[in-house]
């Protein structure tokens, strides 16, 4: 059934004569297909099956970012009911591939940092949801609800409620910095280098359909505390300083506290998501990254603002439990 719908969309888009190949899948239900004509012209189809997926947020954010001059895939055709988009093909030059090929890490990260510094100063669209307490609590809850249960270390209802109370107390610290459009998955898999474009437009942006309005620390932290790869602490420090130079209005200590809380929040979420991807969705490919994310979470908890999170983890998730793999 999905294949029939996909073929029909391709034909309506005027690309019925193009060869279609699977370009990528991700941790969601989405898939991406590349269309290639005999003359070499290409486009991409986002295949986002409802009700699990909704293409409308992607379209809204893409149009907003494109209007601001950032490089995103131009949306050429939309089928909201069936969950298909025809998108501009920005190519294969993801940061992940370029780094694997030995491209200069510092220049790539500097470009990505500069994009965030500029984006953080732009207006946000009115129809993008807020990164509110409920959304953030739902995400942090993934650690006890999925990781701990999957490793045989489920906590009591009282301890689980305490986890939520800790975060409710911490979230105002995260919001000590200004709000901005937060793309939420700003990391090397979703960034591309576009050699034919100048300035900030040389950085292509992907996978922003889950964007929210929240603390401006979040995306830079996501970039520099990557769940999928180790990053030199010197590079992290340099890019953080670069961002702060571009935003001299920010107070460094307030920024650092917000960063620490958002880092702890994201890493707790990601540990839970990776466990859920295995347990619920049968995707074990993310399990090898969990030890790295635990290290990142432990580092974030060294900031004084995150002391309550550290205390809860010490009480209910000792190191031996953190080392277990979801079963």
For residue 26, is pLDDT > 70?
Answer: no
Across 264-289, average pLDDT: 96
Domain ranges across the chain: 2-87, 95-322
According to CATH, the topology of domain 95-322 is: Aminoglycoside 3'-phosphotransferase; Chain: A, domain 2 (3.90.1200)
Tokens representing 5 are: 């719908």
Q: Which of 98, 110, 111, 273 is nearest to 189 (CA)?
A: 98
pTM of structure: 0.94
**Placement of tokens 């490089």 in the chain:** 71
Q: What percent of the chain has pLDDT above 90?
A: 96
**pLDDT tens for each residue of 237-258:** 999 999 999 999 999 999 999 9
| Phi-psi sector, 40: left (phi>0), alpha (psi -120 to 50), beta | left
Specify the CATH architecture of the domain 2-87.
2-Layer Sandwich (3.30)
């Amino acid at each position: 059934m999905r294949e029939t719908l996909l073929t029909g969309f391709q034909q309506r888009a005027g690309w019925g004569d193009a060869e279609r190949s699977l370009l990528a899948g991700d941790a969601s239900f989405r898939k991406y297909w590349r269309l290639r004509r005999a003359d070499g012209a290409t486009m991409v189809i986002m295949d986002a099956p409802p009700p699990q997926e909704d293409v409308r947020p992607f379209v809204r954010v893409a149009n907003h970012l494109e209007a601001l001059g950032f490089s995103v895939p131009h949306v050429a055709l939309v089928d909201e009911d069936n969950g298909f988009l025809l998108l501009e093909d920005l190519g294969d030059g993801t940061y992940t591939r370029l780094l694997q090929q030995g491209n200069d890490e510092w220049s790539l990260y500097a470009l990505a940092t500069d994009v965030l510094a500029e984006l953080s100063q732009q207006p946000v669209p009115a129809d993008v949801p807020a990164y509110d307490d409920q959304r953030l609590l739902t995400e942090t809850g993934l650690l006890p609800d999925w990781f701990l249960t999957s490793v045989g270390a489920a906590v009591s209802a009282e301890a689980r409620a305490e986890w939520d109370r800790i975060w409710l107390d911490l979230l105002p610290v995260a919001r000590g910095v200004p709000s901005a459009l937060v793309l939420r998955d700003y990391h090397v898999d979703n960034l591309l280098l576009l050699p034919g474009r100048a300035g900030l437009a040389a950085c292509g942006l992907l996978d922003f359909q889950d964007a929210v309005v929240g603390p401006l620390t979040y995306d830079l932290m996501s970039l520099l505390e990557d769940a999928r790869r180790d990053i030199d602490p010197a590079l992290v420090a340099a890019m953080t300083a670069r961002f702060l130079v571009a935003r001299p209005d920010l107070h460094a200590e307030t920024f650092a506290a917000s960063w620490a809380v958002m880092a702890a929040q994201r890493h707790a979420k990601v540990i839970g998501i990776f466990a859920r991807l295995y347990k619920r969705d049968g995707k074990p490919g993310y399990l090898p990254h969990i030890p790295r994310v635990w290290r990142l979470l432990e580092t974030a908890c060294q900031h004084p603002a995150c002391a309550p999170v550290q205390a809860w983890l010490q009480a209910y998730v000792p190191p031996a439990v953190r080392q277990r793999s979801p079963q």
